Chains A and B, each alone.
Chain A
Amino acid sequence: MSAVIKTAEVCTLTFREALNEALRLEMTRDSRVIVLGEDVGRKGGIAGVTKGLLDEFGASRVIDTPISEMAIAGACSGAAITGLRPVGEFYYCDMLMFMADNVVTSAARLHFATGLLAPYVLRGRDGSKPGEGGPHQDSLAAWFAHVPGLKVVMPATPSDAKGLLISAIRDDSPVIFLEQIPLYSLKGEVPAGEYVVPIGKSEVKAAGSDVTVACVGRCVHDALQARDRWADKGVSIEVLDLRTLRPLDVESIRRSVAKTGRLITVHEGWASYGIGAEVVACVSDGPQLLLKAPARRVATLDTHIPASPRLAAEVLPNATRLDEAVADVTS
């Protein structure tokens, strides 16, 4: 890992390093925490998140598995039911489709059906690779956010990455933890030592009074840039980072929209039946009418994401469509 600049209580870390620190802290604190997945040990994880853990905690706790996503998820849930706190890693979000049966059929409903707990985390890379392209660019967060009993988390900053991963490991529910690929090298200040960000709480990343942009993951940074662009034009955007997709922080979304009266959602993943749809629904469900203008959803277009980075940039949520949406709701 690169050098850590440490002040009294805050370090500057990359998103990747912050996740690594969260894992290390939790594995030190709780011997029930184990890590398993493809290349998590000797290689230190495909995104470098588990680097150094094998040396520090040994092969009984950091397990290099075969390419067997169904077995990774199954092993996580079986071990979780009988006393461990496993953290399973997947290479890309689309691998979650292999894991989905275990997550949805077994783990998510286990507590409702039996009272037993399956406290495990499945974490890994999610979403697009801007400028790089290729396959494996889906973001299927909404599929999992649909399922009762699951928690779905998608941090946007290094400090949230650390605090939310610690919360996810300590949570008694199965948690899907999604790390958007462009964020891994992002640097930010991260509180040192014990640091917990509660699951289920959004955060206003920048306050505003005219338009609420509810966003998540890498799109939080797109929203912050849009906020700067529109400030010059006299439009004040509030950037609301959802951080957790299930349970959704309905109260904070409604509080923000009650203030601004205008709502745009921005996220990766398709718009139909998607994250934005749920956010808009939780506002329009009432009891009060909060919107002064129709809400707008900016998301991945309802089509295949092309491998070509130039084509993909059109399909993925982008600044052009976000600006159109802002213009629309403020016209």
Chain B
Amino acid sequence: MTQTQSSTAAAHGPEVGNELLLRMMEQLVLTREFESKCEAMWKAGEHLVGEYHLSLGQEAIAVGTCAAIEPSDLICPSIRGMGVYLCRGTPLSQLMKTFFDREGAICGGRWAHWHSPVAEAGLLAQTGMLGSGLVTSAGVALAQQYLGTGKVVITMLGDGATNTGYFHEGMNFAAFRQLPIVIIIENNGYAVSTPLASVVNVKHLSSRAAGYGMPGLTIDGNDVLLVYNTVRDAVGKARSGCGPTLIECMTYRFSGSTVKDPDQLRPFAEKEKARKKCPVLRFKTLLEQKGVLAPRDYEEMVTSVQARIDAAEKEAKESPHLDLNGDPLVKLAPYPDRADA
């Protein structure tokens, strides 16, 4: 059931309206500019909360996926999931406040920004235990199936997380219950420094789907339209009760695993080659060829996005720091108070 799809398949997908094309373009630009800003802030040594797993170079997967699902659907991003937060409408100022440890941070600054749920955006909670998101997402899908909500669950993981025990248990669980879930692998070829090919003996991770009786596809994850069409088909199947699909999106990250990763082990030539396959510029070129986007429109898009990002940063830096005084967290977990006993 595993098949690889080439770019040409996108051409055969249903016609995508100009409005959606431009929205996807804007989301690609937003993710690219937001993360470039974040990379610069972290590298400048500003005091920021936690690590940051940049998705620069992989933006098409989040953008294409989010465009293919309904606002009411639920999504569990991978640890490299900022694109999903942005596409699902998480306010930029809320993200910036999380980085700068300010009031108004996601979940009051209690959980890592790349793990935090945003309930109103249908974003599910994650943890740093890679692969665990797959089994909790399966549980969320089980609840949708049982309650008959008609919602589909998208769960995303990196290639590294597919080598956990969680992946095996979660894939089988999703398959045997025919859950309304779509599993998306963002395959950037590396688990931190370790090349995927050096630790697995399959060419395509999607071939593993066959072992669970699930369809598995490998696609070019830098082709936003192909991602959109493939996810849309899989979501449609899941919503109509035809069970889960595994979609492996091939991509490459431009930066290290985290902003703190010196990234000295990936070959320079490989990185340079990957930059030439930039998903943002590729889509820009396509839209220009289609006559949907003029060069000036694109520049305006970038400028406007940058202004939003700068405004969010300014708002965050002017907000008060988080303060434990009066925080319900303190009241929630008191060690039994001996003095009162």
**B42 contacts chain A at the CB level, 8 A cutoff:** no
Q: In this complex, what residue of B is CB-closest to A278? A: B336
Given the interface pairs A74-B135, A77-B136, A113-B110, the reply to whether A254 lies near B341 with Cβ below 8 Å is: yes
Contact across chains for B144 and A247 when beta carbons are under 8 A apart: no
Given the interface pairs A74-B166, A106-B132, the reply to whether A68 lies near B172 with Cβ below 8 Å is: yes
Task: Choose one: A34, A74, A84, A285; the contact of B136 (CB below 8 Å).
Answer: A74
**A229 contacts chain B at the CB level, 8 A cutoff:** no
Contact across chains for A250 and B173 when beta carbons are under 8 A apart: no
Given the interface pairs A79-B143, A82-B144, A113-B111, the reply to whether A102 lies near B176 with Cβ below 8 Å is: no
Task: Choose one: B124, B129, B341; the contact of A81 (CB below 8 Å).
Answer: B124
- Docked CA distance A76–B165 (Å): 17
Binary contact readout B102-142 vs A (1 if CB under 8 angstroms, 0 otherwise):
00000100110000110100001101110010111111111
Contact across chains for B140 and A112 when beta carbons are under 8 A apart: no
**A234 contacts chain B at the CB level, 8 A cutoff:** no
Q: Give chain B nearest CB distance to A9 CB in angstroms.
A: 34
**B73 contacts chain A at the CB level, 8 A cutoff:** no
Binary contact readout B175-198 vs A (1 if CB under 8 angstroms, 0 otherwise):
011000000000000000000000
Could you list some 26 contacts between A and B, CB below 8 A? A60-B146, A65-B173, A70-B132, A70-B170, A71-B173, A74-B134, A74-B166, A77-B139, A78-B124, A79-B142, A80-B139, A81-B124, A81-B136, A83-B147, A84-B146, A102-B135, A105-B128, A105-B129, A106-B125, A112-B333, A114-B107, A114-B117, A148-B333, A247-B336, A250-B338, A282-B336
Task: Choose one: B110, B136, B169; the contact of A78 (CB below 8 Å).
Answer: B136
Contact across chains for B140 and A79 when beta carbons are under 8 A apart: yes
Given contacts A78-B136, A254-B341, 8 further A-B contacts (CB under 8 A): A76-B139, A81-B125, A83-B147, A86-B139, A105-B127, A112-B329, A248-B336, A285-B338
**A304 contacts chain B at the CB level, 8 A cutoff:** no
Contact across chains for A102 and B144 when beta carbons are under 8 A apart: no
- Docked CA distance A148–B335 (Å): 9
* Residues on A with beta carbons closer than 8 Å to the beta carbon of B74: 82
Number of chain B interface residues as a range: 35 or more
Contact across chains for A74 and B338 when beta carbons are under 8 A apart: no
Closest 10 CB pairs of A and B: A78-B139, A74-B135, A75-B139, A71-B169, A78-B136, A68-B169, A78-B140, A79-B143, A71-B173, A79-B139
- Docked CA distance A101–B172 (Å): 19
* Residues on B with beta carbons closer than 8 Å to the beta carbon of A66: 169, 172-173, 176
**A205 contacts chain B at the CB level, 8 A cutoff:** no
* Residues on A with beta carbons closer than 8 Å to the beta carbon of B119: 116
* Residues on B with beta carbons closer than 8 Å to the beta carbon of A60: 146
**B339 contacts chain A at the CB level, 8 A cutoff:** yes
- Docked CA distance A80–B107 (Å): 19
Q: Give chain A nearest CB distance to B161 CB in angstroms.
A: 13
Residues of A near any B CB (own CB < 8 A): 34, 60-61, 63, 65-66, 68-71, 73-84, 86, 101-102, 105-106, 110-116, 148-149, 247-248, 250-251, 254, 282, 285-287
A74, A83, A282 — which one has the most chain B CB atoms within 10 A of its CB? Answer: A74
Given the interface pairs A82-B144, A106-B132, the reply to whether A250 lies near B336 with Cβ below 8 Å is: yes
Contact across chains for A78 and B129 when beta carbons are under 8 A apart: no
Contact across chains for A70 and B169 when beta carbons are under 8 A apart: yes
* Residues on A with beta carbons closer than 8 Å to the beta carbon of B143: 78-79, 82-84
Q: Give chain B nearest CB distance to A243 CB in angstroms.
A: 16
Q: Give chain A nearest CB distance to B183 CB in angstroms.
A: 13
- Docked CA distance A101–B134 (Å): 13
Q: Give chain B nearest CB distance to A279 CB in angstroms.
A: 12
- Docked CA distance A110–B119 (Å): 13
Given the interface pairs A114-B107, A148-B333, A287-B338, the reply to whether A70 lies near B135 with Cβ below 8 Å is: yes
Q: In this complex, what residue of A is CB-closest to B76? A: A78
**B332 contacts chain A at the CB level, 8 A cutoff:** yes
Q: Give chain A nearest CB distance to B339 CB in angstroms.
A: 6
Given the interface pairs A114-B111, A114-B125, A116-B119, the reply to whether A82 lies near B140 with Cβ below 8 Å is: yes
